[in-house]
Structure 1
Amino acid sequence: MDTIFLIGGLLLMFIGIIGSILPVLPGVPISWAGLVVLYLSPSLSFDTTFITITGIVAISLYILDYIIPAMGTKRFGGSRAGVWGTTIGLIIGIIAPIPFGILIGPFVGALIGEMIFNKTEGPQAVKAAFGSFIGFLGSTFIKFFATIIYLGLFIYKVVENWELLV
């Protein structure tokens, strides 16, 4: 039974890491769910403090994921259209078979969003798109880093309790 919880938790960890990059999956909360699944293993005692603290961090980062790109966009004079363009551009960049699509897509999406939907012109649209892109990169880096830390905590707890789980 413990093996099922261990594999399920590890699977959620890897889905969380992928979700830290893809905007359609809430990466940090999924990684946190992996920690919860590990602690639901019958052989481990449930550490309420650990799960509560990591859960608060996961929820906080989930909320910040919506605030950071908007802050980057606003800081550089962009609009909501730029933020939406960044997200849509990322999805297209992931799907499109072009090199570095995951990096080019958000910038181009923000630029298109600013120029077409917000009617921003020339250099101001490029500046706003750059701000949206920087906000997206910052948010993605924070989420990716958090999911890697959660994976490290998962591995640490598995190694620490290996004799109980086997």
Structure 2
Amino acid sequence: MEIVGWILIIVLFAIGMAGAIFPILPGALAIYFAFFIYGFFISFEPFGWVFWTLQTLIVAVLFLADYAVNAWGVKRYGGSRASVIGSTVGVIVGPFVIPGIGLLLGPFIGAVIGELFAGSNTGQSLRVGFGSVVGLFSSIVVKIILQLVMIVLFIIWII
């Protein structure tokens, strides 16, 4: 059973890391769930309240940072609330509507449309769309770093 547990843990870690790039995957929650798999299949003994507190805080920061960093990118380039909403919708819908490049085009198009609805000119809307892509890449970097921290803490705790 221990081997099955490790296979599941590795798969969940892989899904979690892929989720840093593809927003349709559960990301941090997959990594968090892997800790429970370890506990059920191997042992909960290495994990105390400090481990669970740190990991839960990281997951909370990841959820907040995901939205905040993307919004920062849009706002940094002069975007309105409408373009933040459009960019967020684009991140979620883009990969489904435009497979392959929808992850990049979705937030860009969403932000541009949102900014046009807010009354900005085309040049400003395109600038904000670029900002949404900057925010997306910044968000991905933050998620990768924090999710790697989660995995490293797990390894440190079980050694």
Deviation at 1:65, TM superposition (A): 1.3
* 2:8 maps to amino acid: G
Pair 72,32 (structure 1): closer, same or farther in 2 beyond 3 Å: same
What residue ranges of structure 1 are gaps of 5+ in the alignment?
161-166
CA distance in 2, matches of 1:52, 1:2: 25
Deviation at 1:3, TM superposition (A): 2.8
SS of 1:46's equivalent in the other structure is coil
CA-based RMSD: 2.7
Written as runs of structure 1 = structure 2, the 5 A alignment for 1:40-119 is 40-43=40-43, 45-48=45-48, 49-95=50-96, 96-97=98-99, 100-115=101-116, 117-119=117-119
CA distance in 1, matches of 2:33, 2:120: 41
Q: Give the alignment's TM-score, normalised by structure 1.
A: 0.75
2:6 corresponds to:
6
Could you report, residue by residue, the CA deviation over 1:72-91 in whole angstroms, capped at 9, with x for unpaired residues? 22222212322232233334
What residue ranges of structure 2 are gaps of 5+ in the alignment?
none
SS of 1:106's equivalent in the other structure is helix
* 2:111 maps to amino acid: A
CA distance in 1, matches of 2:155, 2:148: 10
Corresponding residue pairs, total: 157
The sequence identity of aligned pairs, in percent, is 34
SS of 2:41's equivalent in the other structure is coil
CA distance in 2, matches of 1:83, 1:65: 12
1:24 corresponds to:
24
1:164 corresponds to:
none
